[in-house]
Structure 1
Amino acid sequence: MTLKEVLNAHVASKNSDDELFSYADPLQVATKFKEPHIALICALFAYGNAKLIVKFLNSLDFSLLDENEEYIKKNLTNHKYRFQTTEDVKQIFITLSRLKRQGDIEEIFRRGFDKNHAMIDAINEFIKFIYSLNSYRSQGYEFFFSKPFDKSPNSPYKRYNMYLRWMVRDSDIDLGLFKNLNKKDLLLPLDVHTHRISLALGLCTRKSYDFQTVLQITQKLIDFDENDPIKYDFSLYRIGQKSELNEIFSNIR
Structure 2
Amino acid sequence: MKSDLKHAKTGLEAIYQSYNRRAYVHPDPLEFLYEYRDARDREIVGLVASALAYGRVAQILKSVRTVLNRMTPAPATFLKTASLPGLRNHFAGFKHRFATGEHLALMLMGAKGIIERHGSLRAGFMSGVKKSDESVLPAMTLFCNRLVSAGDPGHLVPLPERGSACKRMNLFLRWMVRKDAVDPGGWDGIPASKLLIPLDVHMHRICTNLGLTKRKQADMRAVIEITAAFARIMPSDPVRYDFALTRFGIRAEMSPEEIPDYLFSSTDRLPD
Calculate the TM-score normalised by the size of structure 2: 0.81
Counterpart pick for 1:68 among 79, 82, 87: 82
Counterpart pick for 1:27 among 13, 26, 30: 30
Regions of 4+ moved over 4 Å = 250-253
- Indicate the RMSD between aligned Cα atoms, in angstroms: 2.1
Alignment of 1:80-159 (within 5 A): 80-103=95-118, 104-114=120-130, 116-117=132-133, 118-132=135-149, 134=150, 136-137=151-152, 141-149=153-161, 154-159=163-168
Look up the equivalent residue of 2:219 and give its one-letter code: D
State percent identity of aligned pairs: 28
Is the 8 Å Cα contact of residues 115 and 124 (structure 2) preserved in structure 1? no
Distance 2:203 2:93 in 1: 34
Q: How far did 1:116 drift?
A: 4.3
Distance 1:114 1:26 in 2: 30
Structure 2 gap ranges (5+)? 1-5, 73-77, 266-272
Distance 1:142 1:116 in 2: 31
Q: How far did 1:251 drift?
A: 6.8
Look up the equivalent residue of 2:214 and give its one-letter code: T
Report the CA distance shift for 1:240/1:116 in structure 2 as closer, same or farther (over 3 A).
farther
Higher helix share: 1
Counterpart pick for 1:58 among 59, 62, 65: 65
**Counterpart residue number, 2:43:** 36
Look up the equivalent residue of 1:84 and give its one-letter code: A
Can you list the C-alpha shifts for 1:1-60, whole angstroms capped at 9, x where unaligned?
A: 933222111111111110112xx1110112212511221111111111122111110111
Distance 2:159 2:234 in 1: 31
Alignment of 1:8-23 (within 5 A): 8-21=13-26
Distance 1:233 1:247 in 2: 13
SS of 2:130's partner is: helix
Report the CA distance shift for 1:109/1:96 in structure 2 as closer, same or farther (over 3 A).
closer
**Counterpart residue number, 1:233:** 242
**Counterpart residue number, 2:268:** none
**Counterpart residue number, 1:201:** 210
Structure 1 gap ranges (5+)? none
Q: How far did 1:148 drift?
A: 4.7
Q: How far did 1:91 drift?
A: 2.8
Look up the equivalent residue of 1:110 and give its one-letter code: M
Report the CA distance shift for 1:146/1:252 in structure 2 as closer, same or farther (over 3 A).
closer
Q: How far did 1:101 drift?
A: 2.5
Distance 1:186 1:220 in 2: 13
Q: How far did 1:252 drift?
A: 5.7
Report the CA distance shift for 1:184/1:148 in structure 2 as closer, same or farther (over 3 A).
closer
Q: How many residues align?
A: 243
**Counterpart residue number, 1:217:** 226
**Counterpart residue number, 1:248:** 260
Distance 2:200 2:52 in 1: 14
Distance 2:167 2:264 in 1: 28
Look up the equivalent residue of 1:144 and give its one-letter code: L
Is the 8 Å Cα contact of residues 26 and 43 (structure 1) preserved in structure 2? yes
